[in-house]
Structure 1
Amino acid sequence: MAATTSSSAKVNSAPTIATAASNVAQSTSPMLVRLHPVAIAGICDAYERRKEKATRVVGTLMGKVEGDVVEVTNCFAVPHEEGAQTPLRLDTDFAQSMMELTKRGSPQEEVVGWFSTRPNVPETSFYIHDFYVRFSNPNIIHLTVDCTAEVDRMPIKAYVCSPLGVPPAPRDPKDPSPPRFDQASLFAQVPVEIFCWDAERVGLDLITAGRLAPDRVVNIPTDADQVLQTAKLIDDMLESVLSYVDKVLKDQIPADPEVGRALMDVMGSIPKIDEEAFEKLANSSRKDVLMVMYLSELAKAQLALQEKVNILPN
């Protein structure tokens, strides 16, 4: 947690503590932040492209909110300046223009927060957070990503801003306005998890394979290669399960009731198909895959031939 108080830093126009506190007083803190790999890659790319003397990079987080879960799917950096002798300056016009442009390209995405490539939360973060609260909504998050690569893992933390203080005077129960907290605000940490869609998982697997390749070049596998890799993965899983069950039956390792229940659920979900029907189904699927591969290669050859014909003079 990190508490922030007022300072001389500015975001175009300096907001007061009371103003920001009244804005966040209406917020409902999210219980979980789901961060997608595309957003992490965008943050790291912005950090690598930062100015030479920049201490950190800040930007906007785009995504959606479902109940108490904030899903971060995209991001973009926002130019800013700050330093020991320089007041905080955030290019709010650029941020607003990029927000509108991003929403045109992805109408389902909205502003869900902002990020910083600094592991801690300095006092100037309060004013940046206040800008996003006033521009979008009070239910936004602050994400910190340590891109310095000083440790083996990349520390990622998420915060929500909550008011801290006591109302200055008794309030009328019929007064609809939110209470004002004139002392400070508190950045409270919330859990973060890395979440991947199936398409993102495929991209991550290719990136991982490229990292291990000597020439850093990876070819996209064909449908047949993917079927072969999936079959090999299933075979390895079956070998692992059989080895575990065999060791339990021989009293080499203690039995785990949770693992046993999970195996029973898996066995119960498998449909009962005889060997001949299963082999026929597998052969039919393999033929379909081979036919799709043949048609795709044929279409590529026809397109290449048509391009050659168009080049020839009349």
Structure 2
Amino acid sequence: MPGLEAAANLKKVIVHPLVLLSVVDHYNRVAKDTKKRVVGVLLGQVEGDVVNVANSFAVPFEEDDKNPEVWFLDHNYVDTMRDMFKKVNAKERIVGWYHNGPKLRAADLQISDLFRRYTASPVLVVIDVHARAIGLPTDAYFAVEDIHDDGTAATKTFEHVPSEIGAEEAEEIGVEHLLRDIKDSATGSLATRVAHQLTSLQGLAERLADTRVYLQQVLDGGLPPNSEIIQNLQDIFNLLPNLAIPDDAPAFTTHANDEYALIYVSAMARAIIALHDLINNKIENRQAELEADAKKEAAATTPPAEPAAEAKAA
């Protein structure tokens, strides 16, 4: 399979909305209100260092709650479904598998090894089927060999890959139709932007909390320090503005006040325009009612004309 060998250096996994809807439907049919998890196969293409997950199908899966090493996945069913999907769309190949998580399990490495018979580097996407207001419902991983510095044997582990939700034009239209009954049509673009900014700030607060927990565990000796993570955190802190400088603090305050003033004026203008349109609408409706009443009165007071035949007979 061309391109699958490059999956060992993945940089991004794109998950389509159809996959999310299929996984949620699979969970609601099989494991809703239970502690079971559902497993399925991901179909798509590998384009360089990007995996495009465009489709999926469910797979019969069972595991022992007491012993995570005991599990069953019907790979004969996977072979049959793969051949059937290949007849429908030859471009969609098996690129990995999914489960509803919400976290990694002990048997995930063994299941990934099973999927190596279909692709060289299978991608694991953990999809959260429960609604979350913050963050994406997907976490992508692929198995790598962790080489130890002490000379011990290498062990396999999962490496996290950034994931995002992407869609083609036809899928975006379908999603808009599905969300039409959920979105409030009376909500303007300004309120939508403010809601998105609030959600972004809440997501940032969660990420900062996770960073604090990680650093505290490193200080306490619970986790080994990772030089790459520490370097990234140092770069983040270096990019933060220094508000202790006398010239910077007023500049940020002025910029923020200008933004708030623009939002306030825009909201006032939107309210005034809406009120003006409402008044004009009432005036037009009132004028139409008066014209209709005048026509009715004119029709009632006008005597009927005598027929021409009766006038000649007289």
TM range, normalised to the smaller chain?
Answer: 0.5 to 0.7
**Contact 1:147 1:154 survives alignment (8 Å):** no
| Alpha-carbon distance between aligned partners in 2 of 1:105 and 1:81, rounded to the nearest angstrom | 28
Match of 2:163 in 1: 192
Report matched runs for 1:46-85 at 5 Å: 46-51=26-31, 53=34, 55-85=36-66
Cross-structure match for 2:124: 142
2:119 maps to amino acid:
N
State the partner residue of 2:206: none
Structure ID, larger Rg: 2
Structure 2 counterparts to residues 30-41 of structure 1, below 5 A: 30-41=10-21
Q: SS of the counterpart of 2:56? A: strand
Write out per-residue CA displacement over residues 255-284 of structure 1, whole angstroms, 9 at most, x where no aligned residue.
xxxxxxxxxxxxxxxxxxxxxxxxxxxxxx
1:30–1:69 CA contact under 8 A, matched in 2: yes
CA distance in 1, matches of 2:150, 2:7: 20
Report the counterpart of residue 232 of structure 2 in structure 1.
none
Supply the distance in 2 between the matched residues of 1:80 and 1:153 (Cα, whole angstroms): 28
Say how many residue pairs are matched: 185
Q: If each structure's helix is expressed as a fraction of its own residues, which one has the higher value?
A: 2
Q: Check whether the contact 1:30–1:139 (CA below 8 A) recurs between aligned residues.
A: no
Label 1:127 to 1:25 Cα distance change in 2 as closer, same or farther (>3 A). farther
**In structure 2, how many angstroms separate the alpha carbons of the residues matched to 1:183 and 1:55?**
32
Cα 1:34–1:25 shift into 2, 3 Å: closer
Deviation at 1:83, TM superposition (A): 2.2
- Root mean square deviation, CA, Å: 3.2
For 1:209 and 1:59, locate their aligned partners in 2 and report how far apart those are by CA, in whole Å.
29
Residue 113 (1) aligns with residue 92 (2): no
Determine the C-alpha separation between the residues in 1 that align with 2:120 and 2:35. 28
Contact 1:56 1:117 in 2 (8 A): yes
* Contact 1:159/1:189, CA 8 A, preserved across alignment: yes
Counterpart of 2:65, as a letter, is A
Give TM-score, length-normalised by structure 1. Answer: 0.53
Which residue identity is paired with 2:142?
Answer: V
CA change 1:184–1:69 in 2 (3 A) is: same
Q: Offset at 1:35?
A: 0.8
Q: Which amino acid in 1 is paired with 2:156?
A: S
- Tell me which amino acid in the other structure corresponds to 2:84: L
- Could you tell me how far apart the structure 1 residues matched to 2:31 and 2:86 are? 27
Q: 2: CA distance between counterparts of 1:160 and 1:46?
A: 23
Change (3 A) 1:161 1:25: farther
Residue pair 1:29, 1:160 contacting (<8 A) in 2 also: no
Q: 1:165 to 1:26 in 2, by over 3 A?
A: farther
CA distance in 1 between partners of 2:62 and 2:22 (Å): 20
2:82 to 86, 96, 99: 99
Moved more, 30-39 or 84-93: 84-93
Q: Percent identity?
A: 27
C-alpha distance in 2, partners of 1:39/1:93? Answer: 22
Greater relative CO, 1 or 2 (CA 8 Å, sep 6+): 1
Q: Tell me, yes or no, if the aligned pair for 1:161 and 1:188 is still in contact at 8 Å.
A: yes
- For 1:160, the equivalent position in structure 2 comes to 142
Q: Which residue identity does 2:175 align to in structure 1?
A: L
Q: Secondary structure at the match of 2:180?
A: helix
Give 1:165 shift: 3.0
**Larger displacement relative to structure 2 (65-74 or 97-106):** 97-106
- The alignment partner of 1:210 has SS state of coil
* Residue 57 of structure 1, CA deviation: 0.4
2:113 equivalent among 130, 143, 151: 130
Q: Which residue of 1 aligns with 2:181?
A: 210
CA distance in 2: counterparts of 1:75 and 1:182, whole angstroms: 35
Cα distance, 1:168–1:77 mapped onto 2, change above 3 Å: farther
1:88 CA displacement: 0.6
| Structure 2 counterpart of 1:46, one-letter code | H
Deviation at 1:123, TM superposition (A): 1.1
Q: Distance in 1 between matches of 2:5 and 2:93?
A: 21
Matched-pair contact (CA < 8 Å) for 2:96–2:119: no
TM-score by length of 2: 0.53
